[in-house]
Amino acid sequence: MYQIEKFKNGLTVVLEPIPYVKSISLGIFVGSGSGNEPTNLNGISHFIEHMNFKGTKTRSAREIAEVLDSVGGKLNAYTSKEHTSYYATVLDEHFDTALALMSDIFFNSLYRESDIETEKRVVLEEIKMYEDSPDEIIHDLYVRNIWPDFNLGQPVIGRKEVVSSLTRQDVVDYLDEHYFPGNIIISVAGKFKKDQILEKIREVFSRLNNKKKIHKESKLPTFKSGVNLINKETEQIHLCFGSRGVSYHDERRYPLLVLSSIIGGSMSSVLFQEIREKRGLVYSIFSYPQYFKNSGLFTIYAGTGLKNARDVLAIIIEKIENLKKDFPVNMLITAKEQLKGNLILGLESTSNKMSWNGKNYFYYEKVLNVKEISRIINKIEVDDLLKLLDYIVNPQYYALTAIGNFKEDIFKGIINDK
What are the pLDDT tens digits along the chain (418 aa)? 899 999 999 999 999 999 999 999 999 999 999 999 999 999 999 999 999 999 999 999 999 999 999 999 999 999 999 999 999 999 999 999 999 999 999 999 999 999 999 999 999 999 999 999 999 999 999 999 999 999 999 999 999 999 999 999 999 999 999 999 999 999 999 999 999 999 999 999 998 888 765 555 556 889 999 999 999 999 999 999 999 999 999 999 999 999 999 999 999 999 999 999 999 999 999 999 999 999 999 999 999 999 999 999 999 999 999 999 999 999 999 999 999 999 999 999 999 999 999 999 999 999 999 999 999 999 999 999 999 999 999 999 999 999 999 988 899 999 855 4
Distance between CA atoms of 260 and 388, rounded to whole angstroms?
A: 11
For residue 188, the surrounding DSSP H or E stretch is: strand 184-190
Is 300 within 8 Å of 241 (Cβ atoms)? yes
Q: Give the pLDDT score at 209.
A: 86
Domain(s) labelled CATH 3.30.830.10 in the chain stretch across 3-205, 226-404
- Catalytic residue, from 16, 37, 49, 119: name it: 49
Residue 418 confidence (pLDDT): 45
Q: Per CATH, the architecture of 226-404 is what?
A: 2-Layer Sandwich (3.30)
Q: Got the DSSP string for 49-109?
A: HHHTTSBBSS-BHHHHHHHHHTTT-EEEEEE-SS-EEEEEEEEGGGHHHHHHHHHHHHHHB
CB 409 within 8 A of CB 392: no
**Rounded Cα–Cα distance for residues 369 and 347 (Å):** 12
Question: Is residue 333 within a helix (H) or strand (E), and if so which, with residue range?
Answer: helix 330-346
> 97 with 68: CB under 8 angstroms?
yes
* H-helix segments, 132-167: 134-146, 160-165
The rounded distance, in Å, linking the Cα atoms of 330 and 266 is 15
User: For the chain, how long is the longest CA-to-CA vector?
Assistant: 65
Residue 14 pairs with which residues in a beta bridge?
Answer: 4, 187
Query: Regarding the domain delimited by 3-205, which CATH topology (the fold level of the hierarchy) does it fall under?
Result: Cytochrome Bc1 Complex; Chain A, domain 1 (3.30.830)
3-state secondary structure (DSSP) of residue 117: helix
Question: What Å distances lie between residue 152 and 79, 110, 115, 177, 309, CA to CA?
Answer: 13, 29, 28, 19, 29
Q: How far is CA 387 from CA 287, 382, 384, in A?
A: 18, 9, 5
Question: Is 318 marked active-site?
Answer: no
